[in-house]
């Protein structure tokens, strides 16, 4: 399972020769996903959640349990009878009238002693005016159903500097919901890419080539013959092929077929599975190992051309990687992780050592391209996972709604998602204009229309979405809250641990038909 | 029932259901016209509906909390496990002081304390302990299990419960499952929609290492661990049963595996990996469980109230790259051994032995029956138990199936762990 980690990484900080300590045991099921590095990132994170609504506490529950460092709930409301009915982190009637932030924090903090928590009962508007550095001191800020005027100011503040916290905007009404992540850029170094890195059989490094040439397949002990790893078989077969084909690998269909037949003809017994494996992996010989286009495109990043010693280490690593790929063999650094293959222990371990030694050499060469000192463990991680490197680029909250043409275009590609988004945007606008008044379908439709270019058509799903919003405009349903709590917490964990890939803009949820979608 | 509903209403307060009532007081654009908005549906949900939750673990804790908050007041929960420290990163109804106690009991007490007026009845034991009469009392069943075997049992039991003459006998089954950032939720209407057994081939095949690799040519740390648990444990410890929850046993396996790894220059055997391999640990996090449980409970709420259409019938979520989900209708299989009614066609060589057929039944993705017993309409082919019959039928293992069953003939497959039998129609090549 590509998702589960090599446990070698997961337990680097703990003793490996004895039963793990209580903390490792408690977090065992998640360490198998994001390892000690992800856990330490979580433990260093500080999360601010604005409002103590059912959705907000559902999100926090899923962040407190895995062990974030700190959370604050900012909420100056008192617990209402309505709150006490739909929020698991309030104690029914006995919480009514008490501070919503304090009650929720008290009950959430019980979930994990190692998480620091704080209830803040001050007013967001005051903080925005007088103490904005308080807001920017967090790692991530999450806001649920926040007043649009305040949300606008908050998002502008957090967008104003690349070093400011990520903002997660969550909106929900009844069975419908959406959330959005505002960030500038998000590099993922320690990725869990499902595509395995190239073994580079087409460009065999000298020690690998020498070893494959040193073997005499014809006179070798028959038992050893059955255990030569396919990597060695293919490197040798390719080298022999190239000698008789002007140095070129098999190119045409017929040549490839002949090559595979040649590999199978090397068998001395019909049941040699290592040669069958070699035949099935033969494509590796004519698939040229190059720099994957997604990674090459990262080299176009503007930050690389204006690199200075103060640029973030990530860009220095990227620049070094680019220089590395400009020299032969024009590939990414070699991976030292070898997949399992038919072989006996000695031949497999020997091959593993060859790859490890070469990977180590290439890492040293990579380091020579670095112009600033970077922590060794970061370099290791970067090089090891270079094939899965990603940089996500986000947008400012509200950018879509401020651009009628973009909205109209989005309708043509994802109409049912945009139908829900428009309905929720209309609801937010209307609640601000007419607080306390139940929004009608007509009023909501009019608000939504004003976001689109004049004369545009609504998506066909709009009437369903807007009708659902009008049915339950202020309903924070426990199931919707819990589902959002899970989805948003997953994204926050992904943003903090920088291993799995978060969304780049809106995620829309319809719990009538039970689907999620992306705009 | 009436006294109970009176007592539960006393714990309600004005405004308690303000949020939920918005979707119960009026229909949405896609709500079925049969939905009766208002007091009737609220009364059913809060005073009549009886719901069963299978599992009080990662999904179960979430399911219980959601059901209680949405207004179900008569909830039963079954779980045979006790609380372990590794549950605390997600099973949020449990605290460190609860380690060692039964999950069902602790979860039930927590819910009743936190959500006033909700009655949660725990059963600390196995689902197989309960009979049809027990299952018959519920309107809905939600499964939050980590075991394929238990799901198959529950699914088959609810399918068998259906009596066409009695509409009350059809109990919707909502099933959830997670692994890491991935999960699925589905609605099963026994005998009407695709059932759990229909989709058995969607399961990932567990990784199995060939015995010869483990014994002779280990390459990976996992091979060394398998050597310790599969070969060395029975050799050295004899009949002593391995308990993968016993740290001493894991410690022994770890040291044996580590010694073998050292001998073969293999890196990477750790305590954690040893535990992961022998217990087949699946990564689990609170957030994914929250998503899947909420999806399950939302379906339960929609089915119980008709306030919106329910899922038809499968929701799959993958959170590793963005948020990807897929909602689709999984199709019923006519040859499903549980709900299909038709025999499964199986074609194999006339030379295949009974033993070979058994191996095939264990391996085949859409069958996966461990320890199957086989019989034909005329005779018993091979029975796993009792010992006398096993012994009597054992000579058949080496025989060819074609000696015992004619071409086009039927073979009935049963297993003690599964409450159904599978009919095979055999064709020889």
Q: Which CATH number is B358's domain given?
A: 3.10.290.20
- The pLDDT assigned to A194 comes to 80
The answer as to whether B398 is a domain residue is yes
Confidence (pLDDT) at B8: 46
Instruction: List pLDDT tens digits, range A68-93.
Output: 999 999 999 999 999 999 999 999 99
Which alpha helices (H) appear in B264-308, and where do they start and end?
A: 271-279, 286-305
Q: What is the pLDDT of residue B15?
A: 96
pLDDT at B95 over 60: yes
Distance from the Cα of residue A57 to its chain's centroid: 23
Residues B258 and B388 in one domain: no
Among A235, A258, A286, identify where a domain stops: A286
Expressed in angstroms, the distance from the first to the final Cα of chain A is 29
Report the C-alpha gap between B322 and B306 in whole angstroms. Answer: 32
Question: Which pLDDT value is given to residue A16?
Answer: 53
**Quick check: A4 and B283 CB within 8 A?**
yes
Write out the H or E segment, with its range, that includes residue A50: strand A46-50
Of B95, B114, B180, the CB nearest to A3: B180
The last residue of one of the domains, among A393, A413, A434, is A393
pLDDT of the residue at B185? 98
> Chain A contacts of B330, Cβ < 8 Å?
none
Q: Is A400 helix (H, G, I), strand (E, B) or coil?
A: coil
pLDDT value at position A15? 44
Picking from A69, A57, A67, A63, the residue whose alpha carbon sits closest to that of residue A107 is A57
Chain A residue numbers with beta carbons less than 8 Å from the beta carbon of B62 are 482
Q: Does one domain contain both B91 and B154?
A: yes
Q: Per the CB < 8 Å rule, is A513 touching B217?
A: no
Query: What's the average model confidence in pLDDT over B250-258?
Result: 95
The CATH code of the domain that includes B216 is 1.10.10.520
A367 and A260, same structural domain?
A: no
Site of tokens 């049992």: B153
In a domain, residue A509? The reply is: yes
Number of domains in chain B: 3
Which uninterrupted H or E stretch holds B222? Answer: helix B221-226
Q: Are residues B18 and B119 in the same domain?
A: yes
Distance CA A245, CA A262 (A): 14
Do both A115 and A214 map to the same domain?
A: no
What's residue B61's pLDDT?
A: 98
pLDDT in tens, B51-81: 999 999 999 999 999 999 999 999 999 999 9
What is the model's pLDDT at position A239? 97
At A340-383, the pLDDT tens digits run 999 999 999 999 999 999 999 999 999 999 999 999 999 999 99
Residue A182, beta-bridge partner list: A167
Q: Has residue A2 got a pLDDT over 60? A: no
Select from B28, B204, B265 the Cβ nearest to the Cβ of A471: B28
Q: Which residue has the tokens 């009514």?
A: A96
Bridge partners, A214 (sequence order): none
- Flag whether pLDDT at A13 surpasses 60: no
Write down how long chain A is: 519
DSSP label at B374?
E
Position A4 confidence tier, pLDDT thresholds 50, 70, 90 = very low
What is the percentage of chain B residues whose pLDDT exceeds 70?
Answer: 98
pLDDT at B416: 82
Decide if A412 is inside a domain: no
Checking if the pLDDT of B230 tops 90, the result is yes
- Residues A305, A244 within the same domain: no
How far apart CA A167 and CA A154 sit, in angstroms, is: 9
- Per-residue pLDDT at A196: 87
Are residues A123 and A226 located together in one domain of the fold?
A: no
Provide DSSP, B103-172: HHHHHHHHHHHHSTT-EEEEEES-GGGS-HHHHHT-SEEEEE-S-HHHHHHHHHHHHHH-BTTBGGG---
Per the model's pLDDT, the better-predicted residue between A356 and A312 turns out to be A356
Please, which residues 351-410 of chain B have a Cβ atom closer than 8 Å to chain A?
Answer: none
Which residue, among B291, B293, B297, would best test binding to A if mutated, counting the most A CBs under 10 Å from its CB? B291
Give the CA distances from residue B350 to residues A382, B401, B406, B423, in Å, rounded to whole numbers and listed in that order: 57, 7, 10, 19
- pLDDT 10s digits, A43-52: 999 999 999 9
Same domain, A159 and A38: yes
| Confidence band, pLDDT 50/70/90 cuts, at residue B385 | confident
Task: Indicate whether A276 and A297 sit together in one domain.
Answer: no
Kindly state whether residues B290 and B353 are assigned to the same domain: no
Average pLDDT over residues B172-197: 97
| Exposed/middle/buried for residue B242 (C-beta within 10 Å: 0-12, 13-18, 19+) | middle
Q: Is residue A461 part of a domain?
A: no
Contact A4 B86 (CB under 8 A): no
What is the Cα gyration radius of chain B?
25
What does the pLDDT look like over A421-459, one tens digit per residue? 999 999 999 988 888 899 999 999 999 999 999 989 999
Chosen for mutation from A390, A464, A514 (greatest number of chain B CBs closer than 10 Å) is A514
Pick the closest to residue A498 from A198, A141, A183 (CA basis).
A183
Chain B residue numbers touching A491 (CB-CB < 8 A): 323
In chain B, residues with a C-beta closer than 8 Å to the C-beta of A92 are: 11, 114-116
pLDDT score of A131: 94
Among candidate residues B317, B315, B367, the one with its CA nearest the CA of residue B338: B367
Q: Is residue B127 part of a domain?
A: yes
The catalytic residue positions of B are: 212
Same structural domain, B415 and B348: yes
Contact flag A175-B85 (C-beta cutoff 8 Å): no
Q: Please say whether the beta carbons of B389 and B383 come within 8 A.
A: yes
Task: Report how far residue B177's alpha carbon sits from residue B200's, in angstroms, rounded to the nearest whole number.
Answer: 14
Helix, strand, or coil (residue B396) = helix
Per-residue confidence band for A9, with pLDDT thresholds at 50, 70 and 90: very low
A152 and A83 in a common domain = yes
Chain B residues in contact with A481 (beta carbon < 8 A): 294
Counted domains in chain A: 3
B97 and B135 belong to one structural domain: yes
Summarised one tens digit per residue, pLDDT across range A253-270 is: 999 999 999 999 999 999
**Strand-strand pairing, B119-124 and B74-79:** parallel
Q: B386-426, pLDDT tens digit by residue?
A: 889 999 999 999 999 999 999 999 999 998 878 888 889 99
Chain B residues lying within 8 Å of A67, measured CB to CB: 89
**Residue B204: predicted pLDDT:** 79
Report whether pLDDT(A11) > 50.
no
Residue A425 and residue A398: Cα distance in Å, rounded?
Answer: 10
Q: Residues B353, B358, B362, B366: what is their CA dihedral angle, to the nearest 10 degrees? A: 80
Question: Given A230, A256, A286, which residue is the final one in a domain?
Answer: A286
Asked whether residue A170 is domain-assigned, the answer is: yes
At B363 the pLDDT is 86
pLDDT of residue A17: 63
> Do B116 and A93 count as a contact with CB atoms less than 8 A apart?
yes
Judged against a pLDDT cut of 50, whether residue A96 lies above it is answered with yes
Round to whole Å and give the CA distance between B139 and B159. 14
What is the reported pLDDT for A19? 80
Cα-trace Rg, chain A: 28
* pLDDT attached to residue B7: 42
- Closest-CA distance of chain A to residue B34, Å: 16
CATH number, domain containing residue B90:
3.40.50.720
- Domain residues for the domain of A310 are 293-393
CA distance A270 to A265: 10
A18-27, A83-92, B173-182 — which is least confidently predicted? Answer: A18-27
- Position A6 confidence tier, pLDDT thresholds 50, 70, 90: very low
Pair A166, A266 in one domain: no
- The DSSP line for B191-206 is TTS--TGGGGGGSPPP
Which domain covers residue B221, as residue numbers? Answer: 211-279
Q: Which of residues 273-332 of A touch B (CB under 8 A)?
A: none
pLDDT of A301 reads: 87
Quote the mean pLDDT of chain A: 94
Alpha helices in A287-403, H assignment, sequence order = 293-298, 302-305, 313-325, 345-368, 376-384
| Beta-bridge partners for A119 | A73
**How many contacts (CB atoms, under 8 Å) link A and B?**
295
Q: Name the nearest CA neighbour of B373 among B343, B416, B317.
A: B416
Find, among A3, A44, A243, the residue nearest to A138 by Cα. Answer: A44
Using CA atoms, how far residue A214 sits from A217, A222, A228, A233, A358, in Å, is 9, 16, 12, 12, 18
Query: What's the pTM?
Result: 0.93
Position A416 in a domain: no
- Interface contact A67, partner B, CB < 8 A: yes
Give the pLDDT confidence of B102-131 residue by residue, as tens digits. 999 999 999 999 999 999 999 999 999 999
Work out the percent of chain A whose per-residue pLDDT is above 90: 91
- Do A256 and A316 sit in the same domain of this protein? no
Lowest mean pLDDT among A35-44, A293-302, B43-52: A293-302
Domain shared by A226 and A346, yes or no? no
To probe the interface with B, which of A483, A501, A507 has the most B CB atoms within 10 Å? A483
A157 and A272 share a domain? Answer: no
**C-beta of residue A417 within 8 angstroms of C-beta of residue A506:** yes
Query: A187-203: per-residue pLDDT in tens?
Result: 999 999 888 899 999 99
Range B179-207 average pLDDT:
92
- DSSP string over A194-225: SSPPP--GGG--HHHHHHHHH--TTTS-HHHH
Per-residue pLDDT, B418: 80
For residue A229, the chain B residue with the least C-alpha distance is: B219
Res B375: pLDDT:
92
> B380 by DSSP, 3-state: which?
strand
Identify the band that residue A7 occupies on the pLDDT scale cut at 50, 70 and 90: very low
Partner B, chain A 176-205, Cβ-Cβ below 8 Å:
192
A477-497 confidence digits (pLDDT tens):
999 999 999 999 999 999 999
Residues whose CB is less than 8 angstroms from the CB of residue B60 and which lie 6 or more positions away in sequence, other chains included: B53, B54, B77, B79, B91, B103, B107, B144
Give a yes or no: residue B336 inside a domain: no
Q: Is B60 among the domain residues?
A: yes
Nearest Cβ partner for A500 among B264, B291, B320: B320
CA B282 to chain centre: 14
Q: Does A217 touch chain B (CB under 8 A)?
A: no
Cα–Cα dist A501/A427, whole Å: 30
Tokens, residue A307: 């690199």
**Among B43, B31, B66, B81, which Cα is nearest to B142's?**
B66
- Cβ contact (<8 Å) for B320 and A84? no
Model confidence pLDDT, tens digit, residues B302-354: 999 999 999 999 999 999 999 999 999 999 999 898 998 788 899 999 999 99
């Amino acid at each position: 399972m590509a998702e589960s980690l090599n446990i070698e990484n997961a337990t680097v900080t703990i003793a490996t020769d004895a039963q793990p300590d209580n903390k490792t045991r408690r977090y065992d099921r998640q360490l198998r996903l994001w390892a000690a590095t992800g856990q330490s990132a979580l433990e260093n994170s500080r999360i601010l959640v604005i409002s103590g609504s059912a959705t907000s506490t559902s999100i926090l529950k899923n962040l407190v349990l895995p062990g974030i460092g700190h959370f604050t709930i900012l909420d100056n409301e008192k617990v209402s009878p309505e709150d006490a009915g739909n929020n698991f982190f309030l104690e029914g009637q006995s919480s009514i009238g008490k501070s919503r932030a304090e009650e929720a924090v008290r009950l959430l903090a019980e979930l994990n002693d190692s998480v620091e928590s704080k209830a803040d009962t001050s007013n967001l508007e005051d903080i925005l005016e007088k103490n904005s550095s308080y807001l920017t001191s967090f790692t991530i800020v999450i806001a649920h159903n926040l007043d649009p005027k305040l949300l606008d100011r908050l998002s502008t503040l957090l967008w104003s500097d690349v070093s400011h916290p990520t903002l997660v905007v969550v909106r929900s009404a009844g069975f419908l919901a959406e959330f959005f992540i505002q960030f500038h850029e998000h590099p993922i170094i320690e990725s869990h890419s499902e595509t395995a890195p190239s073994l580079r059989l087409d460009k065999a490094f000298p020690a690998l080539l020498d070893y494959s040439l040193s073997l005499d397949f014809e006179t070798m002990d028959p038992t050893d013959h059955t255990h030569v790893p396919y990597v060695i078989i293919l490197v040798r077969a390719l080298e022999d092929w190239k000698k008789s084909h002007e140095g070129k690998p098999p190119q045409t269909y017929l040549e490839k077929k002949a090559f595979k037949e040649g590999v199978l003809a090397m068998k001395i017994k019909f049941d040699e599975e290592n040669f069958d494996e070699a035949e099935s992996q033969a494509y590796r010989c004519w698939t040229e190992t190059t720099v994957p286009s997604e990674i090459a495109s990262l080299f176009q990043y503007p930050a690389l051309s204006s690199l200075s010693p103060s640029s973030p280490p990530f860009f220095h690593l990227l620049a070094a990687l680019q220089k590395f790929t400009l020299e032969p063999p024009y590939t990414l650094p070699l991976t030292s992780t070898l997949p399992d293959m038919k072989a006996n222990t000695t031949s497999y371990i020997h091959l593993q050592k060859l790859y490890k030694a070469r990977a180590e050499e290439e890492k040293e060469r990579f380091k020579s391209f670095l112009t600033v000192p970077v922590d060794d463990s970061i370099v290791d991680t970067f090089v090891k996972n270079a094939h899965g490197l990603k940089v996500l680029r986000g947008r400012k909250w509200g950018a879509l709604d401020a651009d009628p043409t973009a909205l109209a275009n989005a309708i043509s590609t994802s109409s049912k998602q945009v139908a829900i988004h428009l309905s929720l945007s209309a609801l937010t606008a209307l609640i601000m204009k007419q607080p306390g008044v139940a929004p009608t379908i007509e009023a909501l439709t009019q608000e939504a229309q004003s976001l689109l270019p004049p004369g545009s058509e609504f998506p066909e799903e709009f009437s369903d979405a807007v009708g659902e919003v009008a049915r339950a405009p202020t309903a924070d349903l426990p199931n919707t809250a819990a589902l959002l709590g899970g989805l948003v917490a997953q994204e926050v964990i992904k943003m903090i641990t920088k291993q799995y890939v978060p969304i780049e803009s809106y995620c829309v949820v319809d719990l009538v038909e039970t689907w999620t979608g992306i705009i | 029932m009436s006294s109970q509903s009176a007592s539960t209403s006393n714990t309600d307060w004005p405004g308690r259901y303000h949020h939920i009532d918005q979707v119960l007081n009026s229909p949405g654009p896609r709500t079925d016209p049969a939905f009766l908005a208002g007091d009737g549906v609220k009364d059913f949900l809060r005073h009549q509906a009886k719901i069963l939750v299978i599992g009080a673990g990662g999904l179960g804790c979430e399911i219980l909390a959601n059901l209680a908050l949405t207004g179900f007041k008569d909830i039963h929960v079954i779980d045979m496990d006790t609380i372990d420290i590794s549950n605390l990163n997600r099973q949020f109804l449990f605290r460190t002081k609860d380690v060692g106690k039964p999950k069902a009991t602790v979860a039930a007490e927590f819910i009743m304390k936190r959500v006033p007026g909700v009655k949660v009845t725990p059963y600390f034991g196995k689902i197989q302990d309960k009979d049809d009469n027990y299952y018959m009392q519920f309107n809905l069943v939600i499964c939050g299990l980590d075991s394929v075997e238990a799901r198959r049992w529950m699914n088959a039991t609810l399918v068998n419960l259906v009596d066409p003459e009695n509409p009350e006998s059809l109990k919707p089954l909502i099933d959830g499952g997670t692994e890491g950032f991935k999960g699925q939720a589905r609605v099963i209407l026994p005998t009407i929609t695709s059932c759990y057994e229909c989709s058995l081939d969607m399961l990932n095949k567990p990784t199995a290492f060939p015995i010869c690799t483990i014994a002779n040519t280990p390459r990976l740390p996992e091979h060394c661990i398998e050597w310790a648990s599969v070969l060395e444990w029975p050799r050295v410890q004899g009949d002593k049963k391995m308990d993968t929850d016993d740290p001493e046993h894991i410690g022994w396996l770890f040291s044996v595996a580590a010694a073998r790894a050292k001998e073969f220059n293999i890196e990477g055997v750790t305590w954690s990996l040893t535990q992961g391999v022998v217990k087949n640990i699946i990564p689990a996090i609170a957030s994914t469980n929250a998503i899947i449980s909420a999806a399950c409970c939302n379906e339960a709420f929609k089915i119980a109230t008709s306030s919106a259409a329910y899922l038809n019938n499968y929701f799959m979520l993958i959170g590793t790259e963005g948020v990807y989900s897929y909602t689709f209708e999984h199709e019923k299989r006519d040859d499903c051994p549980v709900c299909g009614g038709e025999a499964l066609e199986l074609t194999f060589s006339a030379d295949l032995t009974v033993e070979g057929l058994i191996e095939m039944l264990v391996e085949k993705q859409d069958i996966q029956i461990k320890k199957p017993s086989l019989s034909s309409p005329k005779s018993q082919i091979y029975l796993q138990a009792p010992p006398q019959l096993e012994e009597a039928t054992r000579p058949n293992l080496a025989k060819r199936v074609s000696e015992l069953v004619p071409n086009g003939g039927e073979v009935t497959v049963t297993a003690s762990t599964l409450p159904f039998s599978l009919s095979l129609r055999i064709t020889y090549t």
